[in-house]
Structure 1
Amino acid sequence: MNIQELRAYIQNNIDIHSVISQYINLSKKGNNYLGICPFHDDSKPSLSVSTNRKIFKCFACNQAGDVIQFLIKYHNWSFNEVINFLNTTYNLQLNTNLVLKETQIYTEVEKQALSALSNASKIYFLYLYHNKDEKIKKYLQKRRISEDIIQTFNIGFAPAEGIKEKLYNLGFEHSLLVNYSLINNLDNDFFTNRLTFAISNEKGDIVAFSGRSLENENPKYLNSASSSLFSKSNILYNYHRAKEFEGPNKEIIITEGFMDTIAFYRDGIHNVVALMGTSLTENHINLLKNKQVTLVLDVDDAGNNATLKSIQILLKNKITTFVISWEDKMDPDEYFEKYGKQSLQKAIRNKKSALDFVYNFFLKSINKNSSQHLENFVKNIKWYLEKSSLAAREIFLKKIETDLNIPSSAFQFKDDYLKQNFFNSDDYNFDPGYELEKHYYIPPSNHRKVESKGSFNFPPVTPLFFELKILLVVLLDQKFINVLKRSDYKFIDAKNKNYFESIEKIHQQPEAHAKMIMDTREQLLKMIGKEFYDYWNLDITPVTLEEFADWIDYANLNKKNHDINNKIKRINETTDPKEQEELLLKIFKN
C-alpha cells in the first residue's frame, strides 16, 4: 500500500465530519457543515466540511485538505503521528510498520538513549528534591525556583559523582552514555555540581540536558553535545509544553534562555520557548509555521542584531511577528523581579509589530541631515517593507515621508506580496494582458486613522466583500453563472446586480469577449482593492462548481448574520419599546 492508497483507505473508512467535530462545533448547512476555523482568528463560521468530497476548506484563510491534513495542521503532527493516531483511535487495523514508507521515528540505539536520558532525569530530579545542601537552597531561593517550577520544567541537580554507576546498574553501555553526554571521555559524569534543565523535543521526549553552574564558573551553562537526538538549531526549549497554550492566535513567545521562559511561567504565561544560546534557524521555522511569533530577545547591540536576523527569517516565511523590548537593559527574569506580577503580561499587551521595531532601530542610528545616512536607511528598511502587507507598507511609507522627508517614490518594490496573495492570473483561462500592480488601489492619506502606538485594527469581513468576490469569479469563468442564478442569492447593492447582468452579456458576446472582460475586471479590481486593503489575507482563488455553491451559501449566511448584528445594535441603541419589539420579531423570523 503506497501513500496515495493509504490516504484513500483512510478517507473511505473515516468520516471527516466525526473527526473535525471533535475539535470545533459544526452545524449543518445544505449538503455541508460550517464551523469556526481554528487556523486563523475567526469570529464567524468560515470553515466548510464536505462529507461527500471528504475535505474541509476555509473560505477566509484558504486552509484546505482531507482529514489527515486537518490533524497535521491542528496538532502540528507529522504524517506518521496522524496515521498512528487514526489507526489506534478508529481501529483501522493497519500494520503501520508495513504501510508507512517514512523512516522509523527512532532507531533502536536512540530508543536506548532516550531511556538512559529519562532515567538520568529522574535521578537528577530526586537528588535535587531530597537535597539539604544550603548552597543549592540559597540558589533556588535567589532565582525564585519553586517546587512547582522544579516539577513542571523537570529541573534537577547533578552531584559530583554517582550517576554513572546508577546508569551502568540499569544496563546502559559505556559508549551510549558517552555519545549522549551522560558521561565524558574521561569516564566521569558529564554534569557535576550543576543544576540540570531537561531539554525535550517537540514530542516531549528528553533528548539532552543543560547544566547551570551555581557559582558562575565557566562555562555558566554546559549543554549536552550534539547527537542524533539533539541539536540546538533544531529544538526550541519548552516547545512541547508551549504549543499546548498557543491560544486562538497560535502565538509562541521566543526568549533567549531557560530562566526567561520560567519568568514568563511565573507570571502566568505558558506559551514561551527559548533559543538556548543560538540564533533562530530555518529548522526552527518548521515548528513555527502557521503561528504568530513574539520575540523577546536581549536589548543590547548583540540582542538587537539577533532580533533583526530573526525577523528576517520569520517574515521570509510569512510568519506574523511582534517584538517586546524595554528601555531598561534587562532580561525577562530581571524585569519580572523588578516590576512584579503581571508586568510581563502587560509587556505582551504592549508588544509592537516587527516593522515598528525595525523602523525605530534604523531610525535611531541615522543623522537626518546626512544624505548618505538617509540612503542607507532606505536600503536597510526596503526589504522589510517588501515582505510586509500592502496596508503596513503604505502606513510606513507615509511615516517615513513625515519623519524623514523621504518620498515613497524613493522605494521601488517588486510587489511580490500583491501578486502572490491577491490575484494569480495563471489560475484562470485567459491572458490578463497587463501587469496587475499598475492598477491596485492605494488609499488616500485620510483613509484610516493610525493609532500612535502603530497598531492597525481591521474591521470584520462585510457582506460586500463576498459580493465583490462572487462577481469576480463569475466574470473570469462563465460556468459559474448558472450556479449563481440557481441560488437564492440576492445582491445587496443594486450596482453590483447591474454588474452581474453586464457580465452575463459579456459572456454572450464572444467577438468582444477578451477586451470586455479586461475592462470589467479592472473596474471590479479597483472596487475589490478597497476591500483588499482591509482583508489582505483573503485572496481570490479559483473554485469548483460545488465550492462556488458553498461560497454562495456562506455569503448568504454572512449577510444574514450581518443583518442580525445590525438589528441587535439598533435594539441596544433605541429606547422605543415598540421598535425594540419589532426588531426582535424580525430577528426571530430570520
Structure 2
Amino acid sequence: MPQIPRETIDQLRNQVDIADVISQDIQLKKQGKNLMGHCPFHEDATPSFSVNEEKQYFYCFSCHRSGDVFSYLEQAHDLSFMEAVEQVATTAGVDLPRESNGPSGESASPNTPLYRLHEEASRLYHHVLVNTVAGQPALNYLTKRGMSRELIGQFNLGFAPARGEEDLLVKYFTQKGIDYQLMRASGLFTEDQTGQLHDRFFDRVIYPIKNANGQPIAFSGRLLTKKATENAPKYLNSPETPIFNKRRTLFNLDQAKKAARKEGHLTLFEGFMDVISAFGAGVRSGIASMGTSFTDEQVAVIARTTDKLTICYDGDAAGQNAINRALTMLAASRLTLRVVQLPAGMDPDEYVQANGQAKFQEYLAHAEETPTAFRLHFLKQGLNLANQSELLHYVEAALREVAKVTDPVERDLYIQQLAKDYHLNPATLTGQVQELAATAAPRPAYPESSPRQPRQAGTRRYQSTPPTTTTAPSTQAPPLLGKVELAQQRLLREMFHNPAVRSHVGAIENFHFVDRPYQLLDAAAKEQLQRTGADEVDVAQLMGELTDAKLRTIVGQIEQRVVPQAAVDETVDDCLAVLVDVAPIEQQIREKTAALQEAAALNDQQLITKLTIELIDLRRQEQKMKTEDVN
C-alpha cells in the first residue's frame, strides 16, 4: 500500500480540530481549559473524558486512554491507521499525496472532488457579490438588511448573477477542465434534454450550506428579482448529493457548536437570515433547518452537540404553530427546552434592525419560557374562554400538559397560575393532575439522543478490548504513582515544554531515565524536536507517532502533571534528586530481593543472611532519603 508522507500527516492533524471529530460521537462541554464529556470507551457515570483543543489530544481520567485524532478514530471506530488518516482527510477536504506506487492524484475519498467543487463555487459566488458590478444589487440588498461586510465575509455569502449568453459556473469549471460527470453529480447544475449543463442558481443571493466541519456541501439561493421568473420559488436549495443530506444538515452548525461548548446550549431559528442577524448581534449559537420541518436526524445531531436547546421563532400565529411543531418533534428527546417568542410580526432579523444588538440579546435573556408555559398559551388559540364549554375544554387540555411535568415545584406553579386565572380550587386541580400523571404512559427516550452513545460506524474496538477500569468514577487526575515514576513523569513534562529544562538535564553527565517507557518517550521527544526545530514537543504529533497504546497513555498522564511556573525550578530539582539518589537504591533493592529469592530456593543460609542484612541497610537508606510524597 502506498505510504503517506509524515509531513502530510502532521499537517492534516493540524488542519482538523480533534474536538469537532470527537463531538460527532459524544457531547463535549467547556470545563476550565479543556472540553469534558462521557468517555466512549467505558461506562462513565460522570464525565471523565478530556479533550485538549490547544494541544489536540484526548485523555480519559478513568480508563486512561489517550491519543491524537487518528488514534481516536482507530479505537472508537475500529479503523486501521490508514483508514483513520483518510477519514480525517475527507473531513478536511484534502487529497492525500502518496510516496510510492499510488496513482497520480489519488484521492482519500471519492467525495473529495465534490467538496473541492463546492469550495470553489463558494469562492466564486462570494467574489461576484463583493467585487463585481453584477453583484452590486445583491450587496445593496444585504446591506439594507443590516449585513456588514464582516458578516457577509463570515458566512461567505455570494451572488449568482442573472443568466447571460453563458452560464457563469458552467463556463468557470469547464475552463478549469472539471470532469463533466463530476459536474453532473455535484447538484450545482441542471441538465437539459440534450445533456447540456446549466447553472442551477442565477439571479439569487447565495447562502453556502456547510457541514459540521465547515466545508461547503450545498447552497441555498434567495431570488433577488422576479422579472421573467414569476413562478420561481423565493428560496431554491441544492438537491441531495453524496455529500449533502438535508435531513441531517443544520445551517451554521459548524460555528454554533463551538459556541455551544462554551454557552451550554444551541438556539434554533426559522431561517438563514435569522441565524446570520443573530450572529452579528453576538448570538453565536444559532442554527436553522433546511426550510423544512424538523427531522429525527437533525434532533439527534443537536442532542449529540448539547443538552439544552432554545427555540426562537416569530411570535405571530405562523411562528407559534412552528414552535408547537418543533416542540412536538422534540418531546421525546432528552434535551432541556426553552422557548423565546419575538413580538408578533417580527423575526430575529427584523428585531435586530429595529432595536439593535444589545436589545436583542437582552430580549433573549429575559423572554425565555418553558415548553409547558408556551403550550398553556398556545392551547388558548381560537378559543372563546368566556364560553364555559370552551373554558372547560381548555382547562382539561391544560391539565394534561401540566401532568407531563415531573418537577413538583414547576408543576405546582402552573396549577396555582391556572387556579388564579380562572378562579378554580388548586386542590381540585392538583388531584386531577395526579390522576392524569398516574395514567400517562412513560415518555420514550429519543433514539440516538443520549450524549454518551457514539454514532454507529462498524464494530467498535472498545467493545472487544475493555479497558482496565470499566466502572471507576472520574478522578479528574492521573493515577497515583510511586515516587520514581512520578518524578519521571513530572520531569519529562517540563522537558517537553521548556528548552531551559532540557538544557539543564542534558548537562548532567550520564543522566538517563530509570524505566524503559520513559527512556523511549525521551528519545521520541528529542527526535521530534530535532526534526521539526520547534521549541517544545507537539504532544498530539508525539502520540500519533507512538504505536504502543501504553506509551500514549503515559503521555496523556504526563500532560496532566502541570506545576505553577514559579515552582518549575524546585520541581525539576526534586525530580532529579529522586532519579539520581532514590532510583539507584530502589534498583538495588529490586536486585537484592531477586537474589534473596534465588538464595532461598537453593537453601543457601549463609547467602540468605548476607543478602538480608544488605536489604535492611538499603531500606534504611531509602527511608532516610524519603521526603514528603510528591503525590
TM-score range, shorter chain: 0.5 to 0.7
Match of 2:347 in 1: 331
CA distance in 1, matches of 2:184, 2:382: 49
Counterpart selection for 1:281 from 285, 295, 309: 295
Calculate the TM-score normalised by the size of structure 2: 0.51
Indicate whether 1:210 and 2:246 are aligned: no
SS in 2 for 1:122: helix
Mapping of 1:374-385 within 5 angstroms? 374-379=392-397, 382-383=400-401, 385=403
SS in 2 for 1:413: helix
Indicate whether 1:409 and 2:431 are aligned: yes
Deviation at 1:182, TM superposition (A): 1.1
CA offsets 1:389-428 (integer angstroms, 9 cap, x no match): 343223212322332326122231148899999xxxxxxx
CA distance in 1, matches of 2:275, 2:324: 21
Match of 1:220 in 2: 234
Q: Identity rate of aligned residues, in percent?
A: 23
Contact 2:376 2:401 in 1 (8 A): no
CA distance in 2, matches of 1:243, 1:257: 18
Indicate whether 1:154 and 2:156 are aligned: yes
CA offsets 1:300-325 (integer angstroms, 9 cap, x no match): 32321221121123232121111111
CA distance in 2, matches of 1:88, 1:65: 15
Q: Which amino acid aligns with 2:186?
A: Y
CA offsets 1:162-207 (integer angstroms, 9 cap, x no match): 2112212334333332333211112211111211110001121211
SS in 1 for 2:111: helix
CA distance in 1, matches of 2:278, 2:74: 39
Counterpart selection for 2:266 from 237, 252, 256: 252
Contact 1:157 1:195 in 2 (8 A): yes
Match of 1:197 in 2: 207
Match of 1:301 in 2: 317
CA distance in 1, matches of 2:333, 2:203: 42
Q: Which amino acid aligns with 1:252?
A: L
Deviation at 1:135, TM superposition (A): 2.3
Match of 1:569 in 2: none
Contact 1:358 1:381 in 2 (8 A): no
CA distance in 2, matches of 1:417, 1:291: 23
Counterpart selection for 2:81 from 90, 96, 106: 96
Deviation at 1:252, TM superposition (A): 0.7
Match of 2:143 in 1: 141
CA distance in 2, matches of 1:278, 1:389: 33
Indicate whether 1:398 and 2:404 are aligned: no
CA distance in 1, matches of 2:346, 2:264: 27
What is the number of residues matched between the two proteins? 371
CA RMSD of aligned residues (A): 4.5
Change (3 A) 1:174 1:38: closer
CA distance in 1, matches of 2:260, 2:299: 16
Match of 1:128 in 2: 129
Indicate whether 1:167 and 2:181 are aligned: no
Match of 1:241 in 2: 255
Deviation at 1:276, TM superposition (A): 3.0
Q: Which amino acid aligns with 2:219?
A: F
SS in 2 for 1:188: strand
Report which of the two structures shows the higher radius of gyration computed on alpha carbons: 2
Counterpart selection for 1:356 from 373, 376, 401: 373
Change (3 A) 1:381 1:284: farther
CA offsets 1:341-369 (integer angstroms, 9 cap, x no match): 31210111112222221112224544444
Deviation at 1:90, TM superposition (A): 12
Deviation at 1:84, TM superposition (A): 6.4
Deviation at 1:136, TM superposition (A): 2.9
Indicate whether 1:184 and 2:190 are aligned: yes
CA distance in 1, matches of 2:389, 2:177: 70
Change (3 A) 1:388 1:258: farther
Mapping of 1:178-577 within 5 angstroms? 178-186=184-192, 187-215=197-225, 218-246=232-260, 248-289=262-303, 290-350=306-366, 351-368=368-385, 369-379=387-397, 382-383=400-401, 385-386=403-404, 388-404=406-422, 405=424, 407-411=429-433, 412-414=436-438
Match of 2:572 in 1: none
CA distance in 1, matches of 2:408, 2:274: 34
Contact 1:210 1:222 in 2 (8 A): yes
CA distance in 1, matches of 2:74, 2:247: 36
SS in 2 for 1:330: coil
Contact 2:220 2:236 in 1 (8 A): yes
Structure 2 residue ranges without an equivalent (≥5): 1-17, 60-65, 92-107, 446-631
SS in 2 for 1:232: coil
CA distance in 2, matches of 1:200, 1:181: 15
CA distance in 2, matches of 1:49, 1:299: 37
Match of 2:111 in 1: 110
Q: Which has the higher contact order (CA 8 A, sep 6+)?
A: 2
Contact 2:129 2:139 in 1 (8 A): no
CA distance in 2, matches of 1:241, 1:419: 32
Contact 2:314 2:342 in 1 (8 A): no
Calculate the TM-score normalised by the size of structure 1: 0.54
